[in-house]
Structure 1
Amino acid sequence: MSSEASASSENTSYGRSDLPDTPEWQMIYTIAPPYILILSILGLLFNSFVLAVFVAQRDHLTVAEIYLSNLALADFLLLCGLPFWAMNILNKFEWSYGDAMCKLINSIIVINYYTSIYTLVMISIDRYLALVKTMKARWLRRKRYAKMMCFILWLLGLFLSLPTMIHRKIKFIDKQNTTACILDYANDSPWKFSHQNLMNVVGFVLPILVIVFSSWNIIKALSQRMENAAFHDFKDTKAMVLIFAVMLLFLLCWFPFQVLTLLDTLCDLNVLDETLWSNTLDIGSQVSIYLGFLNSMLNPLLYVFSGHYFKRKVNAIYRRVRHQRRGSDMTTYQRSVVSTYVNRTEQIRHVVLLNPKDHIGL
């Protein structure tokens, strides 16, 4: 595919050189903008709530919750940029926010993707250490190390987004009379092939292998514990249900995106006929990325409805707020009582201390 006609290597191009005015594209122009805006608003509200709970309980977070808060932060930042995406589609890919925003918004999406999936990797490793290597690796499961790993994951995401930062740019497309924000690779440049392989291998295959390995061993460990009721902790099982649900949701939302990235690569290698697959990739690249965005909105709902420990933290915050309000009300009441008592005492004291002779003299 030509650099102008192709979707980005992560199937997130804002425009192609030969966008057809077909019913499929009209549906995208009509449905995608309100869908993305609603998703953004709800996702920002949900993730703000989750982050507020984690921040309020920051001194009591477990290692897994530190990683989950990192995931919520990545989702929040992604959702902040989606309204620009929605308006861009509404304008039929006419980009009007400048070259810097073109690079920034798309880079945030790539950073979010890598940070999210490798945060899930760290969560799976942490659960593996906690349930399979309980005694041997206890020193590795320290909160300080978890926070350091979160910082490293952001640096990794930033590094892996460099191809997007370099090649994303605004370009005028003659056939569409549109100034679009696209990934503009040089003709026959190895950059696109490298970027797509990076997304498939580093961004999906390797993380999934680690997650599958950890999850399989965790399931075996939990099964053995369930056979011995004395060592079985139901809370551990509920915590693992949440972790597995978060991982499964990520895979369901982003798997189509990865498949289309692979198909795009096969077209570039002439393994697949580009003329046959072009329209499928055009439409699919849009739909798959919108499905990926949905993951950032749904994650907080999993914490609320499936997270036993998260619910406990919310209840703890609620009880603390109620206690503070009661304490504040009681303090105000006590001050009122004390003030009244002091005033009356002063009045009585004044009467008692008066000289009786003064009264007789009157």
Structure 2
Amino acid sequence: MDVLTPSEDRTNYEDYYNAVGLEEFEPCKKTHIREFSNAFLPVFYSITCILSVVANLTLLIIFIKYKTLRKVFPVNIVISDIVFTLTLPFWAVYASSEWIFGYDSCKAITLVYMVSLYSSNLFVASLGLQRFLDNVMYNIKMFRSPKRNTIMCILVWLLSALAASVHAHFVETHEFDKQNTCTYHFGDKAAWKIYVRFQMNFLGFVIPFLVLLFCSIRLQCFAREGSTFQRHMPAKLETGFTIVFFLLWCPYSIVIFLHALQDLHVFYACTINIHFDVAIQVTECIAFLHVIVNPLLYVFLNKKIRRRLKGTCRTTREYLLEESNSSSVTSSQNGTFELRSVQRFQARDRNNSWAERPGNLIPEAT
């Protein structure tokens, strides 16, 4: 399910699967792409959904349980990724057959899906910006406002909702080839199609990545000025998120850009069109892994989270075994102490008996 055209991976609608190859002047056949999508995407979405729910709910439980680890932006990233994950079952069903959820659900699910996608990437960038402000710009009073993070969160959600509303406006249900589809319908507003693609590119990747890159470079420079752990840890976190974000989203953004050029008729050959369709499915799947990678990366790079996670994951059996071992050690120590006391008492009793024997005037040695 392409982010920009949710049905492009499986439906047989004319703008995508029957694109005209000008060198042949006949429809560009993509039957094998549809067959691959119908078989692979439902499985991929289902596995991604399960792993994402486990990873994000685990991290959310840790945030709820330990207040000291509860940070504003990581919590919002987890919420965004969970909301995004909850839309995957709908796309899995759609990819395997057709859209069966109705007209209103088509718009609503697309809106929720795009809001969570935009907000997740923007919150990752906001988290990097927070580290930069807290470590490099801490001397400037205006950046130390207690309401700063709350205001940033509100702005991210509003911006994401505004950007997603454009997608929801153009998404409609249609019947094509005797199947219901949930697709974009731009009509005579072809310019909006280009706008949506570039919006996805800039707001979903370019802007967050530039923020992460800038903050990462500045934090690295800040870390070199000192050798303390407090200086190096934020730089390590920021660099890790920047690299992973680039690897996940850059390939997909490049393919979206190429699709935009295709919409502008820079590319029009059928063979190129097919290659783009395959590429957008592969790179989309890579990008969707962010719902699994984000929580795992945050846990991996955060020592405090790992320590709490180990304590949370300790089973009852391990706890009872530990208590049993502790009790055994205590009992053993108590038993040893009692045995030594008895032996000392017996020795003293023997000495007393020897001293009290007739004719023995030697007192007990003390």
**TM-score (structure 1 length as normaliser):** 0.75
1:168 deviates by 0.8
Give the 3-state SS of the residue equivalent to 2:226 in structure 1: helix
User: Aligned partners of 2:96 and 2:148: how far apart in 1?
Assistant: 44
User: Aligned partners of 2:104 and 2:203: how far apart in 1?
Assistant: 26
Contact persistence 1:9–1:192 (CA under 8 A): no
What's the counterpart of residue 192 of structure 1? 193
Q: 1:122 aligns with which of 120, 126, 129?
A: 126
What's the counterpart of residue 153 of structure 2? 150
1:316 deviates by 7.0
User: Aligned partners of 1:42 and 1:151: how far apart in 2?
Assistant: 28
User: Aligned partners of 2:84 and 2:3: how far apart in 1?
Assistant: 18
Higher RCO (C-alpha 8 Å, min separation 6) = 1
Contact persistence 2:73–2:153 (CA under 8 A): yes
C-alpha change, 1:154 and 1:87, in structure 2 (3 Å) is: same
What's the counterpart of residue 237 of structure 1? 232
**TM-score (structure 2 length as normaliser):** 0.74
What's the counterpart of residue 217 of structure 1? 218
Give the 3-state SS of the residue equivalent to 1:225 in structure 2: coil
Greater shift after overlay, 210-219 or 241-250? 241-250
Q: Give runs of aligned pairs for residues 90-105 of structure 1, distance below 5 A.
A: 90-91=96-97, 94-105=98-109
User: Aligned partners of 1:46 and 1:87: how far apart in 2?
Assistant: 23
Paired residue type of 2:116: N
Corresponding position: 1:106 with 2:138: no
Corresponding position: 1:69 with 2:75: yes
C-alpha change, 1:302 and 1:104, in structure 2 (3 Å) is: same
Q: 2:174 aligns with which of 171, 175, 180?
A: 171
Corresponding position: 1:17 with 2:23: no
What's the counterpart of residue 283 of structure 1? 278
Paired residue type of 1:34: V
C-alpha change, 1:8 and 1:188, in structure 2 (3 Å) is: farther
Q: Summarize deviations over 1:193-228 as a string: whole Å, max 9, x none.
A: 2212222233322332222222111111112213xx
Unaligned runs of 5+ in 2: 18-28, 324-366
1:38 deviates by 1.2
1:48 deviates by 0.6
1:142 deviates by 4.9
What's the counterpart of residue 82 of structure 1? 88
C-alpha change, 1:318 and 1:113, in structure 2 (3 Å) is: closer
Tell me which structure has the larger Cα radius of gyration.
2
What's the counterpart of residue 138 of structure 2? 134
What is the RMSD computed on CA atoms of the aligned residues?
2.7
C-alpha change, 1:114 and 1:21, in structure 2 (3 Å) is: closer
Paired residue type of 2:85: L
Unaligned runs of 5+ in 1: 1-6, 227-231, 327-362
User: Aligned partners of 2:48 and 2:74: how far apart in 1?
Assistant: 20
User: Aligned partners of 2:160 and 2:147: how far apart in 1?
Assistant: 20
Q: Summarize deviations over 1:299-335 as a string: whole Å, max 9, x none.
A: 222223331121244467689x98xxx9xxxxxxxxx
User: Aligned partners of 1:75 and 1:8: how far apart in 2?
Assistant: 18
- Runs of 4+ deviating beyond 3 Å: 11-16, 18-25, 141-144, 312-319
Give the 3-state SS of the residue equivalent to 1:172 in structure 2: strand
1:282 deviates by 2.3
